Every structure is written in C-alpha cells, then in structure tokens.
C-alpha cells in the first residue's frame, strides 16, 4: 500500500524506522522484531535507512524485500544521492520496484564517514529535490521527503530551509517526515509556516524515544535539534541508570505524541535505532488513538 493512501484513511499513521543490520544474525533478529510488531498490528509501515555512499545497499535491499514480501508489511526504502550516478540510482530503484516496493524516501544524504561536506557525484544529484524529480519522472512510486522544524544545519535561514521542502513537494513528494525534535511547538509552528507557503502534503512528526543520554546528545548535535533544558536536566541526573533514562524518555515521548495527535498531526514516525521496546511501550499508551 502507498503511504499517501494511508494518510487518506482518517486515522493516525504510525511507522518505525530501522537501520540495516551488519551481520546475518542481526538481520534475522531484525526480521523477528518486525514480525513481532506485525503480530501487534503495528506499525502501519516500516522504513529502512541507507548507508552513506550505498555502504549498506545490498543489506538494505534484502531487508526491505523480506519485510515487504515475507512479513507482508508495507516497507519504505530510504534512498540517498551520496556516491551514486543517476544510472546507478535507476538500477537500485528498479530492484526495489521488482521486489514489490512502491514507497521511497528520497534524501540528499550525509557526507560519508570522515568527510565534512557533501560532494555531488559526477552524473548524480546534489539535492533531494533533484532525486525526487528523477523518481517522479522515471518510476511509478510513492515518494516521501524530509523536513526540519528547527532548520537543517546547512540552511542559512528558516525561510530558505522551508523553501527547500517546498521544492521537494513541487518535484513530486507526497508526504514529508520531520527530523527529530523534543518541543512540539517547533513542529506546530513549522507546519503553520509550511501551510502559508502552500505546502499541503502531510507533514509527519519524527520522534526519537530517548534511551541513552550521550547518544541523544550526539544525534541532536549532528542534526541541529535542541533538547529542552528541563528534560536534559532530568536525564543528566540519572544518566548512569539506563532504566531511569529510558523511563524518562518514554514518558516524554508519550506526552509528545498525545499532544501531536490531538493537535492534528497525521501520525508519528519513530526513529527506533533498532531498539523497539521503547517504541512499543509508547504505542501501547497511544493505542486508544487508533481507530483504523
């Protein structure tokens, strides 16, 4: 099923994001985890990330195919511009389509490990909007894009950043998923500004349940997100107690999600870091919000 169709059914759409495992054993563990989620009737779809320069290409393709075909769960494949020519990307997408995948998240992608700046590959693309347009012109797939409530670190201004999102939608993106954030005000203000600019597609909030203090500080530094001082203070006081950190992270995420859905968000996309316990706990608390 296409994700754009899910958003027309009148109920919040919940999705989990996983990164491709590095070993055969980890692959089986991930497939088992997703199967358990299927048996719980969650999520509506699963997305699998794509390593810089295609470093996880084969594992990503194989994992996506198994989720889509063996587990019968709608899968969305991430696709980046990093290190690929247009011809190579065309081959990759054709493989996905041949495997029955019809949902793709089109991203520019981060620089490969050890590099600080993105470099356009000769014969490739330099912007996500270009990749979206390429997919729209060459394949019959549902295309998603990313957006940034607190502004992408490389954008000069919030206005510029929002215009990049508008370009993705104009090129063919049917839905947008936000980078992680912890203040719902940032999301709602972003959506309001997007609507005024004429962006009408669903803008799905991306939520990362906090399970490790140092890890979340590292992630927020990379993506430009901010952790509220009160929340950070609570986390730092129990940083050496993994159980207490997770409890605080789950509590905050539940409050976030309830407020987001009540405020009109079309669903929630969970960045799981391949640890689904926290996300399953959050979804259990949100179960009453699902009427589909």
Residue 158 lies in a domain: yes
Average pLDDT over residues 15-21: 87
Span 214-229, pLDDT tens digits:
999 998 988 889 999 9
Residue 292 lies in a domain: no
**d(C-alpha 132, C-alpha 134), whole Å:** 5
**Lowest-confidence pick of 14-18, 58-62, 103-107:** 58-62
List the one residue out of 187, 117, 186 whose CA is nearest residue 176. 187
- pLDDT band of residue 123 (cuts 50, 70, 90) is very high
**Residue bearing tokens 């996300």:** 279
Its pTM stands at: 0.93
Residue 156 lies in a domain: yes
Span 73-97, pLDDT tens digits:
999 999 999 889 999 999 999 999 9
Burial environment of residue 205 by CB neighbours within 10 A (0 to 12, 13 to 18, 19 or more): buried
List the one residue out of 51, 143, 132, 39 whose CA is nearest residue 101. 143
**d(C-alpha 164, C-alpha 207), whole Å:** 21
**Residue bearing tokens 């989720």:** 67
DSSP state of 154: T
**d(C-alpha 130, C-alpha 128), whole Å:** 5
- pLDDT band of residue 292 (cuts 50, 70, 90) is very low
Range of the domain at 123: 3-287
Contact indicator for 63, 31 with CB cutoff of 8 Å: yes
- Residues above pLDDT 90, as percent of the chain: 67
Look up residue 250 and give its two tokens: 């789950």
Contact indicator for 151, 158 with CB cutoff of 8 Å: yes
Collapsing DSSP states into helix, strand and coil, what is residue 64? Answer: helix
CB atoms inside a 10 Å sphere around CB 47: 28
Residue 80 lies in a domain: yes
DSSP state of 287: G
Residue 263 lies in a domain: yes
Residues designated catalytic? 17
Residue 53 lies in a domain: yes
Contact indicator for 203, 249 with CB cutoff of 8 Å: no
Number of domains the chain is built from: 1
Q: What is the CATH number of the domain that holds 140?
A: 3.20.20.220
Residue 187 lies in a domain: yes
DSSP state of 121: P
Residue 233 lies in a domain: yes
Q: Looking at the chain, how many residues does it have? A: 292
């Amino acid at each position: 099923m296409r994700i754009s169709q899910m958003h027309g059914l009148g109920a919040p759409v919940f999705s989990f994001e996983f990164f491709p495992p590095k070993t055969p054993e980890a692959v089986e563990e991930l497939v088992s985890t997703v199967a358990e989620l299927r048996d719980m009737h969650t999520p509506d779809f699963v997305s699998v990330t794509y390593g810089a320069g295609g470093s996880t290409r084969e594992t990503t393709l194989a994992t996506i195919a198994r989720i889509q075909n063996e587990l019968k769960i709608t899968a969305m494949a991430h696709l980046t511009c990093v290190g690929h020519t247009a011809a190579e990307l065309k081959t990759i997408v054709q493989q996905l389509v041949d495997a029955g995948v019809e949902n793709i998240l089109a991203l520019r992608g981060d620089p490969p490990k050890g590099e600080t700046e993105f470099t356009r590959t000769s014969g490739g693309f330099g912007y996500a909007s270009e990749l979206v347009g390429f997919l729209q012109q060459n394949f019959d797939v549902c295309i998603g894009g990313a957006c940034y409530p607190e502004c992408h670190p490389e954008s000069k201004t919030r206005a510029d950043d929002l215009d990049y999102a508008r370009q993705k939608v104009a090129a063919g993106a049917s839905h947008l998923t936000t980078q992680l954030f912890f203040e719902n005000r940032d999301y709602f203000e972003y959506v309001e500004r997007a609507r005024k600019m004429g962006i009408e597609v669903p803008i799905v909030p991306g939520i990362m349940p906090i399970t490790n203090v140092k890890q979340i500080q590292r992630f927020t530094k990379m993506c430009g997100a901010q952790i509220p001082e009160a929340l950070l203070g609570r986390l730092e006081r129990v940083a050496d107690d993994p159980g207490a950190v997770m409890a605080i992270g789950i509590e905050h995420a539940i409050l976030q999600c309830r407020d987001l859905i009540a405020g009109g968000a079309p669903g929630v996309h969970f960045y799981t870091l391949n640890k689904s316990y926290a996300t399953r706990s959050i979804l259990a608390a949100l179960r009453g919000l699902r009427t589909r």
